[in-house]
Amino acid sequence: MNEDDFKHLRQLAAERPKTKAGLIRVLWPEIRQALSAGHTIAEILGALKKDGVEINYSTLRNRIARLKKKDNAETRQSDSDSAKAVIEPAPIHSYDPGSAIRAQRAKKTKFDHNPFSTRIKNLV
């Protein structure tokens, strides 16, 4: 392979995107920093308009919401990946579904009635 094999792709990566969505995606790190610093979407919109980007408020807000959602999903994915590496499997315990009933029967109360009894004299 030659270095000139991908020269068009490299040029494309260096050019400004033609779509507004692509431009917002490229500018996302700076937009995220501005939002983290406490600036509003309206202030960011004003700065973008001064830089020659014509976009309306609702489109910008929509793109920011999508990018935040994507960042959160990636963060959750990386957190779960790191958690999977740290968590050791729990030991396997045998499960006894009747243990709660036996524990309840073991407690003696004033009225000692066994609702599971099949003997008729215990029911009266």
Residue 122 pLDDT more than 60? Answer: no
Residue 95 domain-assigned (yes or no):
no
Structural domain containing residue 11: 7-82
pLDDT at 6 (0 to 100): 81
- Supply the pTM of this predicted model: 0.56
**What confidence tier does 5 reach under pLDDT thresholds 50, 70, 90?**
confident
Domain total for the chain? 1
Residue 91 domain-assigned (yes or no):
no
Neighbour count for residue 33 (Cβ, 10 Å): 10
Residue 50 domain-assigned (yes or no):
yes
Residue 48 domain-assigned (yes or no):
yes
Residue 89 domain-assigned (yes or no):
no
Residue 114 domain-assigned (yes or no):
no
- Give CA–CA dist 106/114, Å, rounded: 11
Give the tens place of pLDDT for each residue, 32-91. Answer: 999 999 999 999 999 999 999 899 999 999 999 999 999 888 888 776 666 566 566 666
